[in-house]
Structure 1
Amino acid sequence: MLVLSRKLKQAIQIADDIEIKILAIEGDQVKIGIDAPKHIEIHRKEVFLAIQEENSAAAQTISVDALKGFLQGK
């Protein structure tokens, strides 16, 4: 893990097309802005993990027997 210190209005550049900028520091909260191409998904980690859990649960809801029945019905 790379650890960097940044001050207000300073930024971090990732590759050619992602910039992370410190917008505000208020008490124990830091507000950041992320400038990235639209095709790159950006989520808070807790949201990302919830999406992963939902996707995993959805993938497991179809049983093998149900899938076989669906295929035989064609």
Structure 2
Amino acid sequence: MLVLTRKNGETIKIGDDIEITIVSAKNDQVKIGINAPKNVEILRKEIYDQILTENQQASQDIFSLLHFLKENSPTGKP
């Protein structure tokens, strides 16, 4: 992990087209502004992790449903 020190108003560049600007930093809270192309998805990590968990659960549910349908189908196919 790269750790950088920045002051309010200073910017970090990631590649050619992503900029992260420190909007304000007070006490234990930092507000950042992110300038990136529209095709770059930006999510808070806790939301990203929640989406991954929900997608994994949905995948397991579909697998279980297909297995159930196969086991209960007269032809052995869903």
TM-score normalized by the length of structure 1: 0.84
- Higher Rg: 2
Q: CA deviation at 1:26?
A: 2.1
Q: Which runs of 5+ in 1 are unaligned?
A: none
Is 2:39 aligned against 1:39? yes
* 1:1-74 → structure 2 map (5 Å cutoff): 1-62=1-62, 63=64, 64-66=66-68, 68=70, 72=77
Deviations 1:48-74 (A, max 9, x none): 1001001111111012425646xx46x
Q: Which runs of 5+ in 2 are unaligned?
A: none
CA distance in 2, matches of 1:59, 1:36: 31
Partner of 1:13: helix, strand, or coil? strand
Percent identity over paired residues: 54
**For the aligned residues, what is the CA RMSD?**
1.7
TM-score normalized by the length of structure 2: 0.80
Aligned length: 71
